[in-house]
Amino acid sequence: MKTLALLLLFAAPARGAETAAFLDLGIGARALALGGAYTALGEDAHSLYWNPAGLAALKRREAAVSHAELALRTRHDFLAFAYPTERGTFAGGLTHLSHGELEGRDALGRPTGGFEASDTAVSLAYAAKGGLADYGVAVKYIRGHIGSAEAQGVGLDAGLRRALGALTLGAALRNVGRGLKYDTERDDLPLRLAFGGAYRLTGGHALAAELVNGPRGAGSVVSIGGEYQALEAVFVRAGYTTRNVAGGSGFDAVRGLTLGMGFKNERWELSYGVLPMGELGNTHRFSLGSRF
């Protein structure tokens, strides 16, 4: 049962009209520990995924790596590099979801041997500061394969971000494109429109909230999160998201609670987050960032 759920969630077309569902998983332990409320708050290399306009806030070069161990040996990895210049910030990234080897069966349920499935996206982005707001755009090449079937496509992300003192507002449009075509059928990318706000308190603390809508029938998700600077380099994070809420045990029983912590100094940041994913159980996320 979990194998079927995994394929439906990550690889096969989702919500009736969408494919490449891995583009909607979220990346970065800090962002996900905050419930995914990161469109306005993010101003690091992980912004390449959440809102490319956040890249305009970078003052130094930054590299970021994120890793997640999901159900049934599925791995979700993200790698990004951002390079700020006087003309704006340039960035590139790689997202890869690997399911490993899965067991194949025919229409009668008999084993037919193993097969592999994976999804990959390669992104290039540019962001800069504007008169009214920072702006950013990212173009990504997307490839997915399930066994012998393969599909390729191109997607576009765009975003805006404006700081108003301690308050920051952000908006992002993710995964614009024609979608991927497996065999003879083409399915849409998981188009998402996100609006968020973040408020930075004195002492290094922050609060964030976000609304994400899937205009092609995926519905809306509300996320909130908070970050508390417990010590000079130690942050404690918690959030809540209406995505993947389901009854059950552990964190699932509290319907969308996310937790995490991070260690940060001028050059390094290490973050951990845990969040529920419905019947697939809890997932653990790890991220490492370096500024130089």
Q: What pLDDT band is residue 117 in, cutting at 50, 70 and 90? A: confident
Judged on CB neighbours under 10 Å (0-12, 13-18, 19+), 111 is exposed
In the block, tokens 């995926």 appear at 218
Q: What is the pLDDT of residue 245?
A: 60
Whole-angstrom distance, CA of residue 261 vs CA of residue 121 = 27
**For residue 57, which of 123, 131, 136 has the smallest C-alpha distance?**
136
Whole-angstrom distance, CA of residue 34 vs CA of residue 240 = 7
Give just the sign of the alpha carbon dihedral 69, 144, 49, 265. Answer: positive
Question: Over the stretch 203-261, which tens digit does the pLDDT of each residue have?
Answer: 889 999 999 999 988 889 999 999 999 998 999 999 999 986 654 444 444 668 999 99
Structure tokens at 266: 């001028």
Q: What is the pLDDT of residue 71?
A: 72
Q: What pLDDT band is residue 104 in, cutting at 50, 70 and 90? A: low
Whole-angstrom distance, CA of residue 170 vs CA of residue 43 = 11
Q: What pLDDT band is residue 279 in, cutting at 50, 70 and 90? A: low
Q: How far is CA 111 from the centre of its chain?
A: 34
Please state the domain count of the chain. 1
Q: What is the pLDDT of residue 281?
A: 67
Give the rounded percent of residues in the chain with a pLDDT score beyond 70. Answer: 82
Tell me the residue range of the domain where 77 lies.
2-291
Judged on CB neighbours under 10 Å (0-12, 13-18, 19+), 137 is middle
Q: What is the pLDDT of residue 211?
A: 98
Question: Using an 8 Å Cβ cutoff, are 80 and 45 in contact?
Answer: yes
Whole-angstrom distance, CA of residue 86 vs CA of residue 1 = 53
Give the rounded percent of residues in the chain with a pLDDT score beyond 90. Answer: 62
Distances (CA, A) of 231 to 132, 166, 235, 263, 264: 35, 21, 7, 9, 10
Question: Over the stretch 159-204, which tens digit does the pLDDT of each residue have?
Answer: 999 999 999 999 999 999 988 877 677 788 999 999 999 999 988 8
Q: What is the pLDDT of residue 13?
A: 41
Q: What is the pLDDT of residue 67?
A: 94
5 pLDDT more than 80: no
Query: Beta strand 219-231 with 111-128: parallel, antiparallel or unpaired?
Result: unpaired
Q: How many CB atoms lie within 10 A of CB 183?
A: 8
Q: Which residue has the higher pLDDT, 71 or 240?
A: 240
Give the DSSP H/E element, type plus range, for residue 138.
strand 134-146
Q: Which residue has the higher pLDDT, 109 or 94?
A: 94
pTM of the model: 0.85
Q: How many CB atoms lie within 10 A of CB 280?
A: 19
Across residues 88-93, what is the average pLDDT? 98
Q: Which residue has the higher pLDDT, 152 or 135?
A: 135
All residues at 6 or more sequence positions from 207 whose CB lies less than 8 Å from its CB, including other chains: 198, 199, 201, 224, 225, 226, 227
Q: What pLDDT band is residue 53 in, cutting at 50, 70 and 90? A: very high
Q: What is the pLDDT of residue 10?
A: 46
Tell me the range of 16-20, 104-108, 223-227, 240-244 where mean pLDDT is highest.
223-227
Across residues 279-289, what is the average pLDDT? 83
Q: Residue 40 — φ and ψ, nearest 5°?
A: -95, -35
In the block, tokens 């968020």 appear at 196
Q: What pLDDT band is residue 74 in, cutting at 50, 70 and 90? A: confident
Q: What is the pLDDT of residue 108?
A: 56
All residues at 6 or more sequence positions from 184 whose CB lies less than 8 Å from its CB, including other chains: none
CATH of the domain at 231: 2.40.160.60
